[in-house]
Amino acid sequence: MSVIVELHGVTKDYPAAREVVHALRSVDLTVEQGTLVAVHGRSGSGKTTLLNVIGGLDRADSGEALVCGLDLFRASDRELAELRRTRVAFVFQAFGLLPVLSAAENIEVPLRLQGMRRDARAGRVAELLDLVGLAPRAAHRPSELSGGEQQRVAIARSLAASPSLLIADEPTGQLDSRTGAEIMALIHRVVAERDVAAIVATHDVSIIDVAHSHVELRDGAIVHTEVVHAAPVVSAPADWARRDPD
């Protein structure tokens, strides 16, 4: 497997009033292609900061950081933007869909930004809708979809540009436990079938059980790491792709 993320001694501090917040403390992390890594920790533990550094949304203060072969410390702002546009995809707790666009149109947005031809876009969107089980709801706007369906659209959109790394920050945070299990099953399937790497930050300890490895963050430092060479097979409920909106 190729290494997608490699961090050594990464630190990040933020000034706050009369003190300095040590958001990341000498973090070491390796993520390989075709693996799902769960990052677990309480609020304020540094999970989001870690994801932002890996995704090139924020710059660390010190250490070494390589993502998809790009040295994040030496990269220009333009190179970081290109990394996010072509190699790294994001899924957020709040879905982030454009309310005036249909499910298909939301998925199509990154393909338009890439300048892909109209016929090629249509084929790619249809493929992704089928992947996430939403082909029958392609014309529905976000307000007409359940929370789980909106998150599936968000995942499909994140995969539009065929990224190497999927970063998900609390992707099940707004979902009930059943729907959350469906979303984790989908991410697990994407990792297995598309051979991408995925990093999922979460408060939910159940997500740890379906990852190839997990790390626990506390006060910006990794305090526990566990590697499982073969993640358990995750199955969503049999009717997950046919459920009516909540």
Considering the domain boundaries, does residue 245 fall inside one? no
- Asked whether residue 81 falls in the same domain as residue 105, the answer is no
Please check whether residue 246 lies inside any domain of the structure: no
Q: Give residue 93's pLDDT.
A: 81
pLDDT of residue 238: 41
Question: Is residue 26 located within the same domain as residue 124?
Answer: no
The closest of 77, 73, 18, 13 to 49, measured between CA atoms, is 13
C-alpha angle 99/246/204, rounded to 5°? 90
> Which pLDDT score is estimated for 19?
85
CATH for 25: 3.40.50.300
110 with 231, same domain: the answer is no
Question: Would you state the pLDDT for residue 231?
Answer: 54
144 and 175 within one domain: no
- In this structure, which amino acid lies at residue 175? L
One domain for residues 112 and 223: no
2 in any annotated domain: yes
Which of 52, 71, 80 is closest to 8 using CA atoms? Answer: 71
Number of domains in the chain: 2
Instruction: Please give the residue range of the domain that contains residue 152.
Output: 96-162
Compute the distance between CA of residue 21 and CA of residue 109 in angstroms, rounded to an integer: 37
- What length is written for the chain? 246
Which pLDDT score, from 0 to 100, does residue 121 have? 92
| Assigned domain for 205 exists | yes
Average pLDDT by stretches of 10, the chain with 246 residues: 93 87 94 93 91 95 96 95 92 89 95 89 93 93 93 92 92 84 86 91 79 92 82 47 43
From CA 84, how far away is CA 55, in angstroms rounded?
7
Structure confidence at residue 241 (pLDDT): 43
Q: Are residues 111 and 133 in the same domain?
A: yes
* DSSP three-state, residue 147: helix
Residues 22, 127: one domain? no
